[in-house]
Structure 1
Amino acid sequence: MRKALLMGAACLLSMATMAQVPLTNKEGSQYQFTVLKSQDAFTVQNQGQTGTCWSFSGLSFFESEMMRNGKGKNLNLSEMFVVRKMYPLKAANYVRMHGKANFGEGGGFPDDLLCLRNYGLVPQEAYDGNRQKTYNHAEMTSLLEGMVKTLGEAKTVNPAWQKAVDGVLDAYLGATPEKFTYNGKSYTPQSFAKELGLNADDYVIVSSFNHHPFYSQFVLEVPDNWNWEKVYNVPLNEFTAIAEQAVLNGYTLAWAADVSEKGFSFKDGLAIVPEKDWADYSDKERQELFTTPAKEKVITQENRQLAFDNFETQDDHGMHITGLAKDQQDNKFFIVKNSWGTGNYCGGYFYASMPYFAYKTTCFMVNKKAIPKEIAKKMGI
């Protein structure tokens, strides 16, 4: 997941408003949403000109987990702490693989769990990653990619190269704190995460593809899964059921999906899968798709799989599902918190239809307790 976009307009609607009244996705739209369930989430953030959506969405998910447990209601976790901790690991993996691996800004929810498990977490005020007006890692990543590419192609390497990588990261992001003070108390990153009640073992990543056996674990074949972490595989009907029931029962989801579809429009506050191919609509009809509820494509295990196999569905972007709504035709939509700032009508949120979720999701992270017991048993959880 590496989608990056800088958004900066003022917020027009707060999440509290979204939880209380029926809403629409944009000014002038005929969509009328009724919120069925909405969970607490911290303020919408902006990943700026970086491909670190996986950290923003994963930590937003952890923030909601803390709120659900009655801790850290106004706590903003540091996304750049996780980014800084992952870069040396990605670099080492790339070099050991002689350059035959992925390296860059992209990552996934396994990275968030790996950081939580091995390094802990810190609040934003303890480590902001040298943020200026916004985050922009273009120069840093260009330097890092040049370094590891040379090392990956070398016949022999000096182990001191890792100090050079750390030097670049410290120059641009800053060294991560070994200790810090928060609310008058001293912590290490690991003791801080423990006090927040966050345990990496409480979370699993779930997917649904039929090129691997269901109710097994497999390595999700996307480039940004650089450390080859496994996900749980379930049939599509159970995949969507887990997500819907989790939200209805008070949980949220860290969501990885393809956002390159014509039916995805953050500025229009909507993600849908039109019934016909995009080329079969007139320009006027295309505009109306984001203002008038219409039939969507029926999503099956087969057409979902085909889209993944032919690269129409890729691991574009990480987001945070915080609620569930329905339109006036009783079609269900997830309420999604993005990390592109607050520059749309929904104040940085948008509505993703159930067909879009079923079709374009690569995986999601969820608390194991949120999975229905009969499905969890089949998964071996």
Structure 2
Amino acid sequence: MKQLLLGATFCFLGLNSVNAQKYQFKTITDVESTQIKSQDRTGTCWSFSTTSFLESEVIRLTGKDVDLSEMFTVRNTYSDKALNYLYRQGKAQFSEGGLAHDVINSVEKYGLVPESVFTGLQTGEEKHNHAELIAVLKSMLDTYIKKPAKQLSPKWKPAVESVLDVYLGENKKEFVFEGKKYTPKSFAKYVKIDPSNYVTLSSFGHAKKYEPFVLSIPDNFSNGSFYNISLDELVAVTENALKNGYTVELDCDVSEKTFSSKAGVAVIPASSADKKKALTELVKEKNVTPAYRQAEFENFNTTDDHLMHIVGIVKDQKNNTYFKVKNSWGTKQGNDGYVYMSVPYFRLKTISVLLHKDGISKDLKSKLKL
């Protein structure tokens, strides 16, 4: 009897081995984008991802492949964040984090520059690391807030700017690019980036449908507005934009064990027992409803961890759809630095997307009054 059972066990294992299906992906849509970079030891994914998104916009709008500076935007946003933190007397977020609209706000206020003009690295530095910079700035701001001189020192702002100059470099008022002189604002016009053309979309049950609302998450220090749409519409607008040549900026939660930059996939298995297997093999995925999505957000299982750039669509051998997501952790992991994110993962873990308003359907534009 034991021999029969043992034989049956081997047959079952062999059948499982035969039925196991390793991922096989085929490209459906691949919108042109620039090379993957690494944000190194910084929390500036918001700038790297949105700058990558803007580089794809420059390609789409002008046909030019321009390497834009992430750190020019970071430097100016740190200035704005410092002012916000001080004026709120420390009752606000002050960290390396941010959101996609912070880049758009920076373009409107400060413009853009090429990477060759502003790298954010000082002499001898090869990688970004902002841990010390943020610690120094926060310590300074906390001191000014306490007002040891009994009143707020007027020196606080030039002192903060000096620290940013030392760590990241001085702001550029004018520069030469390909033989022509530009200011950051005139350069933004040259590459045809108009901040008024970009909108942020989200989907949550606690906000009114088709109206802008301020999403209360820690990194939304600038109180940016999000248009609230249905979850099905959030998926559809992303797919349709990509199919029509528009890339999409993504803010999502990557804390799930089934988000793996190493394996290059992000999925939501229907069974928790399949979490490990799902990184290499096809498994049944969870049916993600708006109610489940909302519950996971409200219990903090879904948070605004990381921003990336969606540049395409792929499908597996069973015709399931995945978004091709460009990460900013270098090219040595996963699919040469890309993560293939399933639609169930996107439905559950997306905080928001940002895209050009022309990438939105006429019907949805009408609902949003755009």
TM (normalized to structure 1)? 0.89
2:162 partner SS: helix
Distance 1:261 1:202 in 2: 33
C-alpha contact 1:180 1:186 (8 A) present in aligned 2 = yes
Aligned to 1:200: 195
1:129 to 2:120 alignment: yes
Which AA in structure 2 matches 1:70? T
Tell me the secondary structure at the aligned position of residue 71 of structure 2.
helix
Partner Cα separation in structure 1 for residue 114 and residue 23 of structure 2: 38
2:62 aligns with one of 56, 67, 70? 70
Contact 2:269 2:278 (C-alpha < 8 Å) held by counterparts: yes
Structure 1 residue 90 displacement after superposition: 0.5
Q: Distance in 1 between matches of 2:115 and 2:189?
A: 17
Match of 2:348 among 335, 345, 359: 359
Provide the residue aligned with 1:334 in structure 2. 323
Structure 1 consecutive aligned stretches of length 4 or more whose deviation exceeds 6 Å: none
The correspondence for 1:276, drawn from 271, 286, 291, is 271
Counterpart-to-counterpart distance in 2, 1:195 and 1:147: 38
1:146 match: 139
Q: Deviations over 1:10-66 (max 9, x none)?
A: xxxxxxxxxxxxxxxxxx981111111001111000000000000000000000011
Specify the alignment match of 2:255 in structure 1: 260
Where does 1:1-381 land on structure 2 (aligned, <5 Å)? Answer: 30-73=22-65, 75-130=66-121, 132-154=125-147, 156-277=151-272, 281=273, 285-381=274-370
C-alpha deviation, 1:115, in angstroms: 1.0
Asked whether the equivalents of residues 94 and 152 of structure 1 are also in contact (C-alpha less than 8 Å), the reply is no
Gaps of 5+ in 1: 1-27
Aligned-residue CA RMSD (Å): 1.3
In structure 2, what residue type is equivalent to 1:202?
N
Task: Please report how far the alpha carbon of residue 245 of structure 1 lies from its aligned counterpart in structure 2 after TM superposition.
Answer: 0.5
Counterpart CA distance in 2 for 1:54 and 1:112 is 8
Distance across 1 between alignment mates of 2:126 and 2:40: 9
SS in 1 for 2:62: coil
Query: TM-score, normalising length from structure 2?
Result: 0.92
Aligned partner letter, 1:53: C
Q: Take 2:145 and 2:50, find their aligned partners in 1: how far apart are those partners?
A: 30
1:309-343 Cα shifts (integer Å, max 9, x gaps): 11111110010000001111111000010000011
Consecutive unaligned residues in structure 2, runs of 5 or more: 1-19
Partners of 1:363 and 1:149 lie apart in 2 by 32
Q: What is the total number of aligned residue pairs between the two structures?
A: 347
Assess if the C-alpha contact under 8 Å between 2:269 and 2:275 holds in 1: no
Which amino acid is the alignment partner of residue 340 of structure 2? Y
Say if 1:219 and 1:231, in contact at 8 Å, map to a contact too. yes
Larger Rg: 2
Which one is further off, 61-70 or 129-138?
A: 129-138
Deviations 1:130-151 (A, max 9, x none): 2522111111111011111223
Q: Which amino acid aligns with 1:163?
A: P
Quote how far apart the aligned CAs of 1:289 are.
1.2
Determine helix, strand or coil for the equivalent of 1:69.
helix
Displacement of 1:71 in angstroms is: 3.2
Contact 2:261 2:334 in 1 (8 A): no
- Give 1:152 deviation, angstroms: 3.1
Alignment partners' CA distance in 2, 1:222 and 1:150: 26
Deviation string 1:215-270 (CA, Å, 9 cap, x unpaired) is 11100111111010111000111111111110111110010000001110000000
| Structure 1 counterpart of 2:8 | none
Distance 1:376 1:93 in 2: 32
1:190-235 CA-partner distances (Å, limit 9, x unpaired): 0001010110011000000010111111001111110101110001
Contact 1:99 1:153 in 2 (8 A): no
Q: Supply the distance in 2 between the matched residues of 1:342 and 1:294 (Cα, whole angstroms).
A: 26
Alignment check: 8 A CA contact 2:268 2:345 kept: yes
Q: What does the per-residue CA deviation read over 1:144-163, in whole Å, with 9 as the maximum and x for residues that have no partner?
A: 11111223344631122011
2:244/2:359 contact within 8 Å kept:
yes
Aligned residues of 2:315 and 2:322 also touching (Cα < 8 A): yes
